[in-house]
Amino acid sequence: MNMKNESLWNNYLKNDLKSSNEDNFDVIIIGGGIAGILSAFYLQKSNLKIAILERNKILAGVTSKMTAKVTVLQDILSKISDKEIDSYIKSQIDGMKLLESNIQEYNIDCDFFKNDSYLFTTCKSNIKKLNNIKTSLDKNKFKVEFSDLKLNNLDIKASLKTSESYEINPIKYLNKIVDLLNYVRIIEDTNVLEVTKENDIYNIKTNRKDYQSKIIIFATNYPYFLKPLFFPLKVRLEKSYIGYGESYLEMNHINAINIDKDVHSIRFYDDKLIYLTGSRMIANKVNDKLGFDKVINSNFLSNIDNLWSNIDIVTNDYLPIIGSIFKDMYIITGFNTWGLLSSHIGAKVIASLIMKNKSYKEYKELFKPRRKITLKKFVNSSINIYESMNGYFKGMITKNKLIFYSKDKIMYIDNQGHNYIVKRKCPHLKCNLLFNLVEKTWDCPCHGSRFDLEGNIISGPSKYDIKIKNVK
């Protein structure tokens, strides 16, 4: 089998969704990934008229690229403050209960079954962090114990283990959730260009037509309209490299991730291994080939079937951003690479806020978008500014022998001699684009916008294409 430079989960995406000609709704959700789909799912019993606007195809963005671990043993537990960690752990336990409840209630066939999950470190200095995490998990009555984990040649100093974790096919699960959206309109291939408000009604300008709504929910990975919240200062973008193939590990059907800087994340699906590594902020190192080589040349995978990358939002305090921004405007994003459980609890929070009930009060406070700025958050904001500038200048100087530059255009020549010419600068904030030689995409090193070979927008924050002309 030839290796595919796309996600394993793409094999399960739907292709037969019907659109809608309506343009006036009570609630419009911008973004058809896991957060948007679940927000619609938990809102549909409200008798509100709901629509989802998706730039491309639903579930085909970041959702289709995640590893989709179902576990509370997460690497970010080592980074969340002592004041907030208990509430965050509770949110993940509740998110897992919601996921399990949906699968059981609607008899969803999504290859869902229990396995063991591990959180480990290869650094002696991080053993104390694992001890602190175990103390917090014990406090919240989550079953966890120290274990003797062995993973090939990794020198593991300490590890935690729980049997309260699962494997899942996220797209099969979400396809069923989509099937259950009987009263929700799904409108694909619709790029939102502008959102304005007049007389308590939101007007959503798109590449197709204008839509009107009383309530709006931003469920995109990078919500590019939120200038008043200084969103770029509150988050960073982390890029990871993922492979799926045969495993060299002696253990099978487990989840595992470490809390160290050099990330090793593993899980299994269909008796093969999904391995993630090379995680980095997108502006730090711009050579995607090195990231993919780290996966290919690892001691974990052989006979790789699929190879892909993903970009996640990392917030300054490692907590999701979920809640009300302005009157009748809501946001659900910033899952810090752990979107499967947080999107469930986050969608419940959004539905509770819109339906004005008192449930999930603790999480409404924990995840609210307008959180207090601490010294650590302020420092992280400064880092975000530096990284964006760093990405901008690296985009100016990075070269590739297959790429040709002019003042305002950039060209890639493939092995068959086809020329792909696009605009050189990202429409978002005019950063110089880089070419991803493995996935064959034009990538922005500042804020993560991605475009296909011909310049069509794949993912934001850019709202526009960089297309000049088709392949010759």
Helix (H, G, I), strand (E, B) or coil at 394: helix
- How sure is the predictor about 289, in pLDDT bands with cuts at 50, 70 and 90? confident
> Which residue would you say has higher pLDDT here, 198 or 229?
198
pLDDT at 38: 98
Q: Which residues on neighbouring strands pair with residue 54, listed in sequence order? A: none
pLDDT band at 415 (very low <50, low <70, confident <90, very high): low
Average pLDDT score over the chain: 86
Residue 229's pLDDT is 55
pLDDT for 245 equals: 96
pLDDT given at position 172: 98
279 vs 215, higher pLDDT: 215
Minimal CA–CA distance to 84: which of 281, 325, 372? 372
Average confidence (pLDDT) over 292-317: 92
Q: Above 50 in pLDDT, residue 344? A: yes
Confidence of residue 204 (pLDDT cuts 50, 70, 90): very high
Give 450's pLDDT tier (boundaries 50, 70, 90).
confident
Cα–Cα dist 76/85, whole Å: 10
pLDDT of residue 209: 93
pLDDT at 445: 75
**Token pair 């058809």 in the structure block, residue:** 32
375-414: per-residue pLDDT in tens? 454 444 444 444 444 443 444 434 444 555 555 777 776 7
Band the pLDDT of 259: cuts 50, 70, 90: very high
What the chain holds in terms of domains, given with CATH numbers, is 16-65+172-230+318-376 (3.50.50.60), 108-169+233-315 (3.30.9.10), 398-472 (2.102.10.10)
Backbone angles phi, psi at 128, to 5 degrees: -60, -35
Q: E-strand spans in 86-231?
A: 113-121, 145-147, 158-167, 184-187, 192-198, 201-206, 210-218
DSSP state of 46: G
Q: What is the pLDDT of residues 118-134, one digit of tens each?
A: 999 999 999 999 999 99
Neighbours of 404 (CB within 10 A): 14
pLDDT tens digits, 93-122? 999 999 999 999 999 999 999 999 999 999
Q: What is the pLDDT of residue 395?
A: 42
Judge whether 308 and 439 are in contact, CB under 8 Å.
yes
pLDDT at residue 440 tops 90: no
Q: What is the DSSP letter of 395?
A: H
3-state helix, strand, coil split of the chain in percent (to 5) is 30, 30, 40
Q: Given a cut of 50, is residue 373 above it in pLDDT? A: yes
Q: Mind listing the pLDDT tens digit for each residue in 223-244? A: 655 555 556 667 888 889 999 9
Considering only CA atoms, which of 342, 185, 167, 157 is closest in space to residue 259? Answer: 157
Instruction: Please compute, for residue 373, the number of CA atoms within 13 A of its CA located in the half-sphere on the CB side.
Output: 10
pLDDT (tens digit, 9 = 90+) per residue, 130-149? 999 999 999 999 999 999 99
Query: Where do we find the tokens 């339906």?
Result: 355
pLDDT tens digits, one per residue of 161-175: 999 999 999 999 999
